[in-house]
Structure 1
Amino acid sequence: MEHVSLPSQHPLSSGRTTESRLVRAYQGVRQDIPPVWFMRQAGRSLPEYRELRVGTKMLDACLDPALASEITLQPVRRHKVDAGIFFSDIVVPLKLVGVDVEIVPGRGPVMGEAVRTSAQVAALTSIDPASLDDVIAPITEAVKLTVAGLSTLGDGNSSIPLIGFAGAPFTLAAYLVEGGPSKDHLAARTLMHADPASWSALMEWTADVTGRFLRAQVLAGASAAQLFDSWAGALSLADYEKHVAPASARALKHVHGMSYSVRPHDEGADPSVERRTVPIVHFGVGTGELLAAMRDVGADVVGVDYRVPLDEANRRLGGAVPLQGNIDPALLYAPWPVLEAHVRDVVSRGQSAPAHVVNLGHGVSPDTDPDVLTRVVELVHSLGS
């Protein structure tokens, strides 16, 4: 994928999010006040979300630009987090290119049929990933609406940045092969070894579909890009490196090197123009043994789940990578003194890394008290130097 300069009106090009806490932390510059946002901050934990979603299916909500934008903005208004995370779902690009998929309440994404034979893989991969570009308008429109909304929620000097996101190729492939959610991903792991040619074709296809989905969000105004590999923790390091990492790298090539110019504002400063790139975050669940491999596919920032302390994650990554994480979502239900001590410990351990964006070690659970999340944001912001 060729390197692309962001449009002049993009929030990074125009300067609206260029110096935001989140973006600069992702670029390895430690911030005086730790930036914080929460995975799954938009959604079922908020009463205003539940009210808005009445009578609307999940994927319909994702493809309604005004609705998706409003849902993305809700937690930013309520919690005063340092970023919006685009409200969508990792299977949206599959739906857009014609895959039979629905999100079943209480279960998750369910496919019309599981893709398990070479013939089924061949039929699926005959769909040109580039066809996504012809039907991506609901997503790009939602991003533009959201970026406009976030510009009103900043501090006057800068806008709140939007993070674009997509599912990693393995997680998408696992859903396709299993036909829906799975605890052990046996069918996917079997196909990987029993028919490596079909597996490779499937992974390249999911990489290009999800990579284009992520790229469209960035071009429309997202200031960072995050790839979620929800199920990579089911893999050994050897399987990840051989059968998965090449596809994750292929997906990230769609957003790698997207750049913008930064001009100095201070009088007397070096007048030369600095080029920066859109930061890329890679996160997986149960991936403590895969952290370095997940960085090596082309990530600038590594998200860490709640199982590995941040100082240990930093050691595994050689002390050179900004980290994101890793409050244990279970402790959001604990008495405040317990949660407060845990948050302080996470921030303290994060000091070992070049920079740290505070987040959960997985997503917000639906029955989390939103007032607790707001209180965590206030605590994190109070821990600045």
Structure 2
Amino acid sequence: MIKNDLFLKALKGETVDRPPVWMMRQAGRYLPEFMEIREQYDFFTRCQTPELASEITVQPIRRFNMDAAILFSDILVIPQAMEIEVQMKPNFGPYLPDPIRKAEDVTRVVVPDINDTLGYVMEAIKMTKEKLNDEIPLIGFAGSPWTILCYCVQGQGSKSFDLAKGFCFTQPEAAHELLQKITDTTIAYLKEKVKAGCDAVQIFDSWGGMLSPIDYQEFSWQYIQQIVDALKGHAPVIVFGKGCWFALNKMAQSGAAALGVDWTCSAQNARYLTGGQITLQGNFDPARLLSPPKDIKKMVRQMIDEFGKDRYIVNLGHGILPNIPLENAKAFVEAVKEYSQ
């Protein structure tokens, strides 16, 4: 039994004394102890070495005692497993030297055996569970098929993902074939993560907001729905679509346990669009963690008041920034723990 099950209670919609709190990208780049590891090992070595990944996962918990841990990994381990080369270049980000641009490229993409290709992730989960010692739950995650496609086709990060969108709009059959392969791989991957010990899973649709509402249904949502359908009987599923407020109503009917909300959508609108019956997660602007700690505490309390303490998980509206002072991250977590109506 997990001792602090506040996060799992919130996912079930149970009444709680205060909402749980964790932060997207909490395991990582704003922590000095993480930077020490980063100086010694390159990015994918950190992901692929279970001892390192598990250590990085628990670092923020030791420091700030959040109500859930999220496994240190990356969404791009999926294309790597599908035999698409992914590099992480310093001061640049992800780089795919051989991007997918035509139908023939899609045919060479494999749906892998997860234990053969991503067994190191499962080992990291088992090690992390030992370190957490049933104190708090562990979250596993994956990128949405559309978000993975964006990188596979664009070949790197982008402000517009114009090549990825162009691929979908000019070669829709090839695009759907690739999206289905990513979806099948992701379902198998998340199921193995749950089997290895993850208590919940989150799907990150980081680039969903790049699409119009109609294109979102066709190229993103229908594949996320497949993942939710396949996983919801195994573990609670959180769906986070950045910039996807227009789809919140549809998402609320998906069977997901919770929906992430970014900082561009108010609590009132998020509750209205989702019908008020589903757990919401978010939506503090990550840049607002640059405010003075006393202001952060005040804004967090106000945010909880607006969402309501039940069916709510306090989080950021996207990942924590690397330049956030430790005392500010601490103020964010403390404000939630000190919350009383």
Please tell me the TM-score bracket, short chain as reference: over 0.9
Q: Which residue of 1 aligns with 2:282?
A: 325
Per the alignment, residue 55 of structure 1 pairs with 40
Counterpart residue number, 2:132: 150
Residue 284 of structure 1: CA displacement?
Answer: 1.6
**Of residues 110, 125, 148 in structure 2, which corresponds to 1:172?**
148
2:216 aligns with 240
Asked if the contact 1:72/1:84 (under 8 Å) is kept, the reply is yes
**What residue number does 1:132 align with?**
114
Match of 1:16 in 2: 2
SS at match of 1:54: helix
2:331 is the counterpart of 1:380: no
Shift of 1:83: 0.5
Aligned partner of 1:349 in structure 2 is 306
Match of 1:291 among 237, 242, 248: 248
Instruction: Report if the CA contact (8 A) 1:227-1:281 is conserved.
Output: yes
Cα distance, 1:131 vs. partner? 2.1
* 8 Å CA contact retained: 1:321, 1:354: no
Tell me if the contact between 1:320 and 1:354 (Cα under 8 Å) persists in the aligned partners: no
Rg bigger for which structure?
A: 1
Q: Which has the higher helix share?
A: 2
Residue 318 of structure 2 corresponds to residue 362 of structure 1 = yes
Shift, 1:233, TM fit: 0.6
- Match of 1:35, SS? coil
The answer (yes or no) to whether the contact 2:260–2:281 under 8 Å persists in 1 is: yes
Shift of 1:249: 1.8
Cα contact 2:213–2:247 (8 A) shared by 1: yes
| Number of the residue aligned with 2:54 | 69
Residue 187 of structure 2 aligns with which residue? 211
Alpha-carbon deviation of 1:139? Answer: 0.8
Query: Which residues of 2 match residues 229-268 of structure 1 at below 5 A?
Result: 229-258=205-234
Secondary structure class of the residue paired with 1:52: helix
Distance 1:192-1:87 versus aligned 2 partners, 3 A rule: same
- Give per-residue Cα distances to partners, 1:204-228, cap 9 Å, x unaligned: 0111122222222111101110000
Does the 8 A contact of 2:114 with 2:188 survive in 1? yes
Deviation at 1:16, TM superposition (A): 2.6
1:301 aligns with 258
Task: Between 102-111 and 201-210, report the one with greater CA deviation.
Answer: 102-111
Aligned to 2:77: 92
TM-score (norm 1): 0.85
Superposition deviation, residue 93 in structure 1: 2.2
Deviations 1:122-180 (A, max 9, x none): 222xx1x24223222211110011011111xxxxxx52100011101000001001011
**Segment drifting more, 190-199 vs 140-149:** 190-199
**Is residue 282–residue 316 contact of structure 2 (8 Å, CA) maintained in 1?**
yes
Instruction: Give the C-alpha shift of residue 113 in structure 1.
Output: 1.4
Change (3 A) 1:296 1:188: farther
Question: Tell me, what secondary structure is at the counterpart of 2:128?
Answer: helix
> What secondary structure sits across from 1:248 in the alignment?
helix
Question: Percent of aligned positions with the same letter in both sequences?
Answer: 35
Report the Cα distance in structure 2 between the residues aligned to 1:187 and 1:289, rounded to whole angstroms.
23
Q: Is the 8 A contact 1:169 1:251 kept in 2?
A: no
Q: Please, which runs of 5 or more residues in structure 1 have no aligned partner? A: 1-14, 152-157, 259-277
In the comparison of the two structures, how many residue pairs are matched?
Answer: 341
Q: What RMSD over aligned residues (CA atoms) do the two structures have, in Å? A: 1.6
- Other-structure match for 1:38: 23
Corresponding residue for residue 274 of structure 1: none
Q: 1:183 aligns with which of 156, 159, 164?
A: 159
TM-score scaled to structure 2, two decimals? Answer: 0.96
Deviates more, 1:44-53 or 1:105-114: 105-114
Contact kept, 8 Å, 1:34 with 1:384, in 2: the verdict is no
